Structure 1
Amino acid sequence: MSYLTIAMPKGRIFHEAVDLLRKSNYQLPPEFDESRKLIIEIEEEQLRFILAKPMDVPTYVEYGVADLGIAGKDVMLEEERDVYELLDLKISPCYLAVAGLPDTKMNEVAPKIATKYPRVASSYFREQGEQVEIIKLNGSIELAPIIGLADRIVDIVSTGRTLKENGLVEYEHIVDITSRLIVNPVSYRMKNERIQELVDRLNDVILEKQ
Structure 2
Amino acid sequence: MMQNEKVKVYFPDGHLEKPIWDALITAGYRLGKTERGYLIDVDHPKLVFKQVRPQIMPFYIEMGKGDGGITGEDILQNWMLKSNLKNVEILEELPLRPTKLVVAISEEIYPDVYTIEDFKEKVGDREVFIASEFPEIARKYAEKHGLNAIVFDPIGKTEAALLPPMPEADLIIEITEFGTTLKENMCRIIDLVMDKVHSVFIVNKESLKDEEKKQVMENLVTDLKEVIESRNLVSFYFNVPNEDDLRRIIDYLTENGFDPTISPLAKGGAAVHIIVDRSRVKFLKPIIRGMGAKRIATSPVITFGD
Class of the TM-score when normalised by the shorter of the 2 chains: 0.7 to 0.9
**SS at 2:200's partner residue?**
strand
Cα deviation, 1:148-184, whole Å, max 9, x if unaligned, reads 3322111111232221122111101111222110111
Return the alpha-carbon distance in structure 1 between the equivalents of residues 36 and 199 of structure 2. 23
1:180 is matched with: 200
1:69 is matched with: 69
1:144 equivalent to 2:161? Answer yes
1:115 equivalent to 2:132? Answer yes
The alignment-based identity, stated in percent, is 27
Q: How does 1:153-172 map to 2 (within 5 A)?
A: 153-172=172-191
1:135 corresponds, among 132, 152, 163, to: 152
1:200 is matched with: 222
TM-score, normalised relative to structure 2: 0.61
1:91 equivalent to 2:62? Answer no
Structure showing greater radius of gyration is 2
Greater RCO (Cα-Cα under 8 Å, separation 6 or more) = 1
* Structure 1 pair 141–204 and aligned structure 2 pair: CA distance change class (3 A): closer
AA matched with 2:90: E
1:28 is matched with: 30
> Which consecutive segments of 4 or more residues in structure 1 shift more than 6 A?
none
C-alpha displacement of 1:134: 1.7
1:10 is matched with: 13
**SS at 2:223's partner residue?**
helix
Return the alpha-carbon distance in structure 2 between the equivalents of residues 193 and 117 of structure 1. 32
Is contact 1:7-1:60 (8 Å) kept? no
AA matched with 1:171: I
C-alpha displacement of 1:68: 0.9
1:100 equivalent to 2:120? Answer no
* Structure 1 pair 166–206 and aligned structure 2 pair: CA distance change class (3 A): closer
Return the alpha-carbon distance in structure 1 between the equivalents of residues 89 and 224 of structure 2. 17
Return the alpha-carbon distance in structure 2 between the equivalents of residues 119 and 159 of structure 1. 24
Aligned-residue Cα RMSD (Å) equals 2.4
* Structure 1 pair 5–137 and aligned structure 2 pair: CA distance change class (3 A): same
Q: How many residues align?
A: 207
Is contact 1:13-1:91 (8 Å) kept? no
2:209 corresponds, among 189, 205, 208, to: 189
Cα deviation, 1:168-205, whole Å, max 9, x if unaligned, reads 11101111222110111111111222223233333433
Return the alpha-carbon distance in structure 2 between the equivalents of residues 197 and 142 of structure 1. 38
Is contact 2:12-2:70 (8 Å) kept? yes
* Structure 1 pair 167–199 and aligned structure 2 pair: CA distance change class (3 A): closer
Query: Structure 1: 5+ residue runs without aligned partners?
Result: none
Return the alpha-carbon distance in structure 2 between the equivalents of residues 153 and 90 of structure 1. 27
Is contact 1:70-1:179 (8 Å) kept? yes
Return the alpha-carbon distance in structure 2 between the equivalents of residues 114 and 44 of structure 1. 41
Is contact 1:71-1:181 (8 Å) kept? yes
Cα deviation, 1:123-158, whole Å, max 9, x if unaligned, reads 123233444332332123223333233221111112
* Structure 1 pair 136–195 and aligned structure 2 pair: CA distance change class (3 A): closer
AA matched with 2:220: L
Return the alpha-carbon distance in structure 2 between the equivalents of residues 92 and 28 of structure 1. 24
